[in-house]
């Protein structure tokens, strides 16, 4: 999806689906299971928090929800790097997902900064 202007709601939803596809093929070892659970949790939480931000009760609540989504995006990027570097999945298969997680982090970071600037 890079270079397309796609709503962050759609991007994070599609990202969650891609994350879950990766989770399904992580080897069933002790470390693989732990990492898969963490990745599934954080990777799906990004979009859920973006979705929640749309129904926020105030600008502060909106910023808070987007900040949580950003933190989850950062955590997801971390787990994807662990999977790549531990060679649990071929790095070719993760490259697009790593790139998308980087872009989502940038979009959410910019959104948080913009929302905070408008608050003042």
List C-alpha distances in Å: 33 to 28, 40, 46, 59, 77.
Answer: 6, 10, 20, 38, 17
The model's pLDDT over 7-53, given as tens digits with 9 standing for 90+, comes to 999 999 999 999 999 999 999 999 999 999 999 999 999 999 999 99
pLDDT confidence tier of residue 118, bands split at 50, 70 and 90: confident
Question: 22: exposed, middle or buried (C-beta count within 10 Å: 0-12, 13-18, 19+)?
Answer: buried
User: What is the span of the domain harbouring residue 87?
Assistant: 8-119
Distance, in Å, from the CA atom of 82 to the CA atom of 17, rounded to the nearest integer, reads 19
The count of domains in the chain is 1
Percent of the chain with pLDDT over 90: 91
Distance, in Å, from the CA atom of 22 to the CA atom of 48, rounded to the nearest integer, reads 19
pLDDT confidence tier of residue 2, bands split at 50, 70 and 90: very low
Give a yes or no: residue 2 inside a domain: no
Give a yes or no: residue 3 inside a domain: no
For the chain, the residue count is 120
Q: Residue 63: its pLDDT value, please? A: 95
Q: Residue 33 belongs to a domain with what CATH number?
A: 1.20.1440.60
């Amino acid at each position: 999806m890079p270079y397309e202007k796609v709503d962050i709601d759609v991007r994070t939803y599609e990202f969650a689906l891609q994350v879950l596809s990766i989770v399904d093929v992580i080897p069933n070892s002790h470390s693989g299971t732990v990492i898969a659970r963490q990745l599934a949790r954080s990777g799906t939480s990004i979009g859920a928090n973006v979705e929640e931000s749309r129904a926020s009760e105030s600008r502060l609540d909106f910023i808070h929800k987007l900040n949580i989504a950003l933190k989850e995006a950062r955590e997801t990027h971390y787990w994807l790097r662990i999977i790549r570097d531990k060679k649990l999945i071929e790095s070719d298969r993760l490259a697009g997902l790593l790139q998308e997680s980087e872009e989502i982090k940038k979009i959410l970071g910019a959104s948080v900064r913009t929302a905070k600037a408008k608050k003042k």
